[in-house]
Amino acid sequence: MVSPDPMAEIRVSFFVECEELLEALQDGLQALSSSTHDEETIHVVFRAVHSIKGGAAAFGLEKLVQFAHHFETSLDRVRTGTACITPDLLNLFFRATDHLSDLVHASRDSLDIHEPGMLLHELDVLACAASQSATHDGATSIPKEIALKPTETDDVASQRQKTYKIEFRPNVEFFEEGHDVVDVLECLAALGDVDVQCDSSTLPPLDHLMPTQIYLGWTFDLTTDVDQAEVVSTLGFTHGLATSQIFPHAQDKGCLPETSSASVGVANDQRIPNTPKDKTVVRVDLDRVERLANLVGELVINQAMLAQSLQISGVSPHSDTMHGLEEFQRLTRDIQDSVMMIRAQPVKSLFQRMARTVREASASIDKDVRLITVGDATEVDKTVIEHLVEPLTHMVRNAVDHGIEKPDERRACSKPAQGEIRLSAAHRSGRVQIEVSDDGGGIDRDKVLATAIKNGLVTENATLTESEIDALLFLPGFSTAPDVSDLSGRGVGMDVVRNAIHRLGGRINISSKPNAGTTFSISLPLTLAVLDGMVIEVADETLVVPLNVVAETLTLSDNMIEQIQPGYSVVRVRGTFVPLFDLGAALGYRPLCDSVENRIAMLLVLEDDSHVALLVDEVRDQRQVVIKGLDDSCHRPPGIAAATILGDGRVALILDPADIVANTIPAKAIERARMEPQA
């Protein structure tokens, strides 16, 4: 039997760590661009690139190492104060981060990737610009985005220089994590001049040497103009992986506070204030989490079956058996909630991908657009996040291409030349609400309608409301772009978005105002695994309504009902009118009821705070149900979100009330009856 390759596991861990480092790199650059940073932010950005380079070197990933080295050298100019942070410089670093991410993914998947010649040239120019500008005043070709700080004279610089003695001894974990002593030397060399001595005093004879033990240590004499805190910060990536101490050199004691060497020396495990670890993180294979979630789902179904069996058998609700069942239900819910928390992830990684999409899309059509993210810590089921990548990418590219105007057009409308796209996420009414909004010109509804008529999508004499015109954007093949470009013009995009959102059990709405922008709102379930539902019966069919939208139930009488047009009625509820519709008729189970006397209505509160009432035959009970998605081979009628398995083994459909309302009640009728005070 062949033993597993230990390097393969380390390689997997390295690429997982790279994702975390890339996220930290993006966060740092965002902080730099929003001017909410301190000096430590620059060090965090530098260390992220350096750590990726060090780990890649251990696995022989030459292309990744070489590019990371160029990127790191350029960042060092900012870190040491040689170059100032400007918008153009940050744009260069963002583009370098995008390519670094591509290289990491290509290295992970053993794919080839093109050489970014122009990008490397710009990074190299930045790396050598300071020295060239000092010797050839105005003679070098320095890009406009690189702002250099005045160079100090040798006398001033020499007055600031100090010398430190650094004793460094790595642990086994230092090398297991893919680092090398050369990495430490390069970090210190970036701060100043370094002399190196190797301590081999503990090295045993060859026949007693153990390959898994570390026998060597190193002493670095660093001459630099930075203070001791920055030296400590530079070696932050060795935290927990090595033992190191920093002492002032004998001739430089006057440059430091009077103290003994013992008190100045800082142990490695005590000197990294910027990397506290408040939580212990365990990395688990996703397949194991999915298997656990599936098993808990089966546990919920079996618990429901047991509860129904005991109810049918006539066991007293006050018996020990029923008390034990209640405790079992509580534990099942706690386990389910805990598993869902494991599956939940913040949408931050998704939003960061959209930031790159905005940069690339705006650059391709010469528009100046920035992305603002709100609520990126909002947690959603991992499966939901994975399925959101494609639709969000389409929406963001559409906002850049169709929503944001050209800079000249924006100035003519008294707007800033730079357009703004806002991407937000928040929990609302037991669901997650994601919005993509822009401050562009809004939807040109006359143009949309004219295009739809030209393409034969609507008749020439059709009279449509604003919301109905907006809905035309989701029709397959619809496009208002005059020419086919890299971004749009082929009629593929928004219909893909709508279908993807519907497959997730979600909805998408549009709101737009002329010259004020457009907002696309996506409403999705927090999880694709379970939900709390109200089990109802309609025309001998068992259905489930999400509990989070149910406000109350009513027993109706005929004098509570007012008909506003044939087939559509409203119910009077405490001085207000609420649209009422027959759920059985809406789903095609039976004709409309002639009388509602003594029938049951469920009052629902939808996400936009509108109220509707569903006419049902019976409300059975409330329970937690496991969501079973409908695959592509099943037709998904309007108003059906998913299915579930009940305690008796039968399949019940899970309703999407808002979708039923949108496809059943005319918009004008809803607006007329929506919670208006009674006259």
Tell me the sheet residues that pair with 622. Answer: 534
- Indicate the fold that domain 530-673 takes in CATH: OB fold (Dihydrolipoamide Acetyltransferase, E2P) (2.40.50)
Closest by CA position to 97, among listed 169, 45, 148: 45
**How many Cβ atoms are within 10 Å of 289's Cβ, its own excluded?**
14
Residues 6+ apart with CB under 8 A from 451: 478, 479, 480
Q: Tell me the mean pLDDT in the region 537-553.
A: 88
Confidence of residue 78 (pLDDT cuts 50, 70, 90): confident
DSSP reduced 3-state for 99: helix
> Per residue in 291-323, pLDDT tens?
888 888 788 888 888 887 887 888 887 888 888
84 phi, psi to nearest 5 deg: -90, 155
Number of residues written out for the chain: 679
Q: What per-residue confidence (pLDDT) applies to 143?
A: 46
Least reliable range by pLDDT among 383-397, 456-470, 568-582: 456-470
Confidence of residue 655 (pLDDT cuts 50, 70, 90): confident
Q: Is the pLDDT of residue 519 over 80?
A: yes
DSSP reduced 3-state for 477: coil
Least reliable range by pLDDT among 441-450, 490-499, 528-537, 644-653: 490-499
Q: Is the pLDDT of residue 437 over 90?
A: yes
Q: Is the pLDDT of residue 429 over 60?
A: yes
Among 59-63, 383-387, 434-438, top mean pLDDT goes to 434-438
Q: Is the pLDDT of residue 158 over 80?
A: no
CA 406 to chain centre: 28
Q: Tell me the mean pLDDT in the region 562-590.
A: 83
The answer to whether 217 touches 167, Cβ cutoff 8 Å, is yes
Residues 6+ apart with CB under 8 A from 620: 535, 536, 537, 542
Confidence of residue 131 (pLDDT cuts 50, 70, 90): very low
Same fold, 347-525 and 530-673: no
Q: Please report the DSSP string for 33-60 in residue order.
A: HTT---HHHHHHHHHHHHHHHHHHHHTT
Exposed (0-12), middle (13-18) or buried (19+): which is 399, by Cβ within 10 Å?
buried
CATH of domain 347-525: 3.30.565.10
DSSP reduced 3-state for 197: strand
CA 258 to chain centre: 50
Residue 677 carries which DSSP code? B
Q: What per-residue confidence (pLDDT) applies to 636?
A: 66
Q: Is the pLDDT of residue 431 over 50?
A: yes
The residues spanned by each domain of the chain are 1-151, 152-272, 289-339, 347-525, 530-673
Q: Is the pLDDT of residue 28 over 90?
A: no
Between CA 290 and CA 299 the distance in angstroms is 14
Between CA 438 and CA 443 the distance in angstroms is 11
Q: Tell me the mean pLDDT in the region 67-91.
A: 82
Between CA 196 and CA 185 the distance in angstroms is 8
Q: Is the pLDDT of residue 557 over 60?
A: yes
Q: Is the pLDDT of residue 597 over 60?
A: yes
DSSP reduced 3-state for 623: strand
The answer to whether 261 touches 248, Cβ cutoff 8 Å, is yes
Look up residue 453 and give its two tokens: 């008529």
Using a pLDDT cut of 70, give the percent of the chain over it: 81
One-letter amino acid of 638: P
Q: Is the pLDDT of residue 676 over 90?
A: no
Look up residue 516 and give its two tokens: 């004020």
Q: Please report the DSSP string for 300-322 in residue order.
A: HHHHHHHHHHHHHTT--TTSHHH
Q: What per-residue confidence (pLDDT) applies to 558?
A: 83
Residue 627 carries which DSSP code? -
Confidence of residue 54 (pLDDT cuts 50, 70, 90): confident
120 phi, psi to nearest 5 deg: -60, -40
Q: Higher-confidence residue: 151 or 331?
A: 331
Q: What per-residue confidence (pLDDT) applies to 37?
A: 63
Q: Is the pLDDT of residue 566 over 90?
A: no
Q: Is the pLDDT of residue 132 over 80?
A: no
> Per residue in 441-455, pLDDT tens?
888 888 888 888 887
Look up residue 16 and give its two tokens: 């997982």
Confidence of residue 633 (pLDDT cuts 50, 70, 90): low
Q: Tell me the mean pLDDT in the region 526-549.
A: 83
Q: Is the pLDDT of residue 176 over 80?
A: no
Q: Tell me the mean pLDDT in the region 492-514.
A: 80
> What class has domain 1-151?
mainly alpha
CATH level 2 (architecture), domain 152-272: 2-Layer Sandwich (3.30)
Q: Is the pLDDT of residue 145 over 50?
A: no
Look up residue 222 and give its two tokens: 């660093």
Tell me the sheet residues that pair with 344. Answer: 381
Between CA 656 and CA 600 the distance in angstroms is 19
Residue spans of beta strands (DSSP E) within 362-516: 369-374, 379-381, 419-428, 431-438, 507-513
Confidence of residue 438 (pLDDT cuts 50, 70, 90): very high
Between CA 344 and CA 527 the distance in angstroms is 8
Between CA 639 and CA 658 the distance in angstroms is 7
Confidence of residue 160 (pLDDT cuts 50, 70, 90): low
Average pLDDT, the chain: 77
Q: What per-residue confidence (pLDDT) applies to 258?
A: 34
Query: pTM value?
Result: 0.61
**How many Cβ atoms are within 10 Å of 197's Cβ, its own excluded?**
10
Q: What per-residue confidence (pLDDT) applies to 479?
A: 67
Q: Higher-confidence residue: 241 or 281?
A: 241
Closest by CA position to 93, among listed 77, 109, 112: 77
Q: Is the pLDDT of residue 563 over 50?
A: yes
Q: CA distances (Å), 419 to each of 391, 406, 543, in order? A: 21, 9, 46
